[in-house]
Structure 1
Amino acid sequence: RHWPALGRPGVAAFLHTFSPYFLPVVAASQLDEMASVLRFSLTTLEVAGSGHRPLISSIRGLRTHARLHEAAKPAEAIPGIPYKNMTIGVPKEIWQNEKRVALAPASVTALTKKGFNIVIEDGAGMEAKYYNSAFEEVGAKIVDRSSAFGADIVLKVRQPLIEEVDLLRGGNTLVSFLFPAQNQELLKKLAAKNMTAFAMDCIPRISRAQVFDALSSMANIAGYRAVVEASNHFGRFFTGKFVWKEEVVVWTCCTEPM
């Protein structure tokens, strides 16, 4: 390939690529800067004399972008509390007709593996058919009501009643459905105790936050329940079939004689 000579003042050499889509000409005065950014590898690049084409042995371009990250400062460590020093408490739900519990034994297993200490109020999972023994088998500790509310992180299903806020020690974290617009007085009491509260009902329904979308999962279960209740009042034979999501643990009914 013939290389055209450059007669520009102040330019001693140039780099010409074989690709029409990538840097047709780079002056030698810019070469160091471009090599730093684009990671060129030059074996030989020199000029025989004024008006002559450059002599190039080999050029490799765009090897890696690691050079761009070398100048970045390492991220500073964020101070925090080790998981093994934190306790998660699950109090019993006392709202009328509320049978749910904030943690199932399977979730307790996942949290204890990370190092958290889990405390469950005595009888918290009874209405959901999770007995104390099921929680104890996976590493949770059964405690009284005040100890469950005094944990570093308190998990609930329904928002705390006003009288339950007094059981929170203050300065700890609450994760629950809160419905802030309907519970202004509750929010004021939580703020007065310097609480950190996460409203599960306010998590946006986007793909990135889908794993935290407890609102949709609860609404999904309520929708199935509505169909079951409707079928109970339907006058004729009901032939509907339910298809559950894989992550929903369902009860299997025996339909054949033993």
Structure 2
Amino acid sequence: MMLGKIHSLETMGLVDGPGIRVVVFLQGCALRCQFCHNPDTWATEGGEEMSPQELLQKIVRYRPYFTRSSGGVTFSGGEPLLQPEFVLETLKLCREARIHTCLDTAGCGRGMYDEILQYTDLVLYDVKQITEESYRQMTGRDWTETGKFLQAVRRAGTPVWVRHVVVPGLTDGEAHMAALQSFVHAHVPNVQKVELLPYHLLGVHKYEVMGLKYPLTGVPAMDIGKVEQWQKKYFAVGETRR
């Protein structure tokens, strides 16, 4: 029996795709983003083992909260694409059940992108950084894999919402926003909107509990007002997530 490793479920999510959503956080991530607030999802081991059928049973319980035009399930993490076989099978079951599907991803998985995107209604794509050097510094990896994913998205024609965390001194400022706008237009296909997410400190305690050094010690939370200004100026469609 195929089993996936589930870190946790959020049953009334309002910020990870359209409408009210079940958010499935899968275990495991290959990136080590400096601003990550979920280090507890990094390890590929751990989590609750569940079959695609068992996960679908949990998802359909919340179908009454979905509407004809919004609501559904979002696969997040960690990085859901590190469990491609499990995600693909679950997506197929959701398609049969007529449940809208979102894939919240940095595009750094283990392949099978073309097959997975056949059953994905919306991609929430995380732009970590906009140059190869800054991407490597931010995530610890090069962007070869995420480039392969974007090529697959282009082939599939799947709609995309871009999301970008705004970190003081790293991904903020007028120059960066103008460069981000150009990067999205040039490299990310099928974009419907861009959401700027203010950097916050809510995950710092997790590093302390896990005995890990926090990469951005001393960096303050991002000023939400500034992010809202940049959202309106450069990416008028979309709301600033608090």
Query: Does the TM-score normalized on the shorter chain lie above 0.5?
Result: no
TM-score (norm 1): 0.29
Pick 1 or 2: higher relative contact order, CA cutoff 8 A, min separation 6: 2
Of Structure 1 and Structure 2, which has the larger fraction of its residues in strand?
Answer: 2
Of Structure 1 and Structure 2, which has the larger fraction of its residues in helix?
Answer: 2
TM-score (norm 2): 0.31
Q: Which has the larger radius of gyration?
A: 1
